[in-house]
Structure 1
């Protein structure tokens, strides 16, 4: 059970974090649409390497912050503000995303692999996200910053991230109507997810001050 918990939490954190349409998952879908699944998977493999490094350093940074109770509280409050703002934006302000697949030039597997690494390197959002998630989970005694727990959590993140990216690759290979439905409702889905995270974070903050 001690190994299953961080594995499951890493999987869920990654699934929630990478599910909204973003640079990596949408590009993976486009590569699959234009160049086939093999090139798309090489792109994903390249992105996964950088994601692993980002998560590892994010958790190590969170370990340092976790020793300072004042910083932990500050991170919770900042996280609540960010996710609450995102909830309002995605549910009420954001325009519906357009399901457009731009033309991509055919590239080799090696180029797609490094392309995945490059785009993932340009995406810094996973770092603050996993800092916030690991500190929040640790505050509920669901996660510890021991070496074994960190590595198992990282494995869970890898599985979760790969599953989401693979779903994007497989799903966007279907009909235009099915793609259009999920894209039209994606803002609502993301808004609900960030709203739930905001509520959990707010409860955590209230419990701390009470």
Structure 2
């Protein structure tokens, strides 16, 4: 029963955490739109391969990571600049012409799995995310560390399902709302990342400066 509880809790937390708009979801959608379902599945497998290690090690070393103020400060500050970089990247992408916008073509030759592996590896914001959640779940007795591999398996299934669902959702918008979709990369997504960067900046100020 505890093993099943670990799987369910891991799935729910990861599923909800993977739904918000993020660069991994957006790139997953681009891969799906240009290269199909098989390639996006390989991409997502690359993403969750890295996440498996992140979830496992943050589960084991959660207390140590939280108490390492210098490391957490570097990660939090990096998050501000990383989100601003994403806003600029998607805005720049929206200004490309149809002739040169297919920039993923040269990267897809290296395998979608490797793309997912690389992009997930530089997603350092998942470290504080999983550290915080793992501490909360352990302290609240929502999960049992004895069955940690069941928990990790549940998180991976939740991430895969959440991201795949979000990819399908964006594709539906692209197919049925072309007028709205043309503003998605140019305005909406960059603004979302700018707002997230401001919130992250306020978190840094509140946590380390004030």
TM-score normalized by the length of structure 2 = 0.68
Q: Partners in 2 of 1:69 and 1:95 — Cα distance?
A: 32
- CA positional deviation for 1:116: 2.3
| Residue 174 (structure 2) pairs with residue 172 (structure 1) | yes
Matching residue of 1:156: 158
Residue 59 (structure 2) aligned to one of 41, 59, 63: 63
Matching residue of 2:40: 44
Once the two structures are superposed, what CA deviation does each residue of 1:47-101 show, in whole Å capped at 9, x if it has no partner? 122222111011123234424256643343123202223455567x778341655
- Which aligned pairs between 1:4-19 and structure 2 lie closer than 5 A? 4-16=8-20, 18=22
CA contact (8 A) 1:65 1:71 kept: no
- Unaligned 5+ residue runs, structure 1? 32-39, 107-111
CA contact (8 A) 1:51 1:120 kept: yes
Instruction: Look up the SS of the partner of 1:172 in the other structure.
Output: helix
- Unaligned 5+ residue runs, structure 2? none
Q: Partners in 2 of 1:90 and 1:46 — Cα distance?
A: 23
Q: Which is richer in helix?
A: 2
Q: 1:200 to 1:103 in 2, by over 3 A?
A: closer
Root-mean-square deviation over aligned CA pairs: 3.9
- CA positional deviation for 1:41: 1.1
Q: 1:70 to 1:11 in 2, by over 3 A?
A: closer
| Residue 77 (structure 2) pairs with residue 81 (structure 1) | yes
Moved more, 127-136 or 182-191: 127-136
- Which aligned pairs between 1:56-205 and structure 2 lie closer than 5 A? 56-68=52-64, 72-87=68-83, 96-97=91-92, 98=94, 100-101=97-98, 102=101, 115-125=111-121, 128-139=124-135, 141-142=136-137, 146=145, 147=148, 148-174=150-176, 176-185=178-187, 186-197=189-200, 199=202, 205=207
- CA positional deviation for 1:176: 4.1
TM-score normalized by the length of structure 1 = 0.68
| Number of aligned residue pairs | 191
Instruction: Look up the SS of the partner of 2:91 in the other structure.
Output: coil
Q: 1:184 to 1:21 in 2, by over 3 A?
A: farther
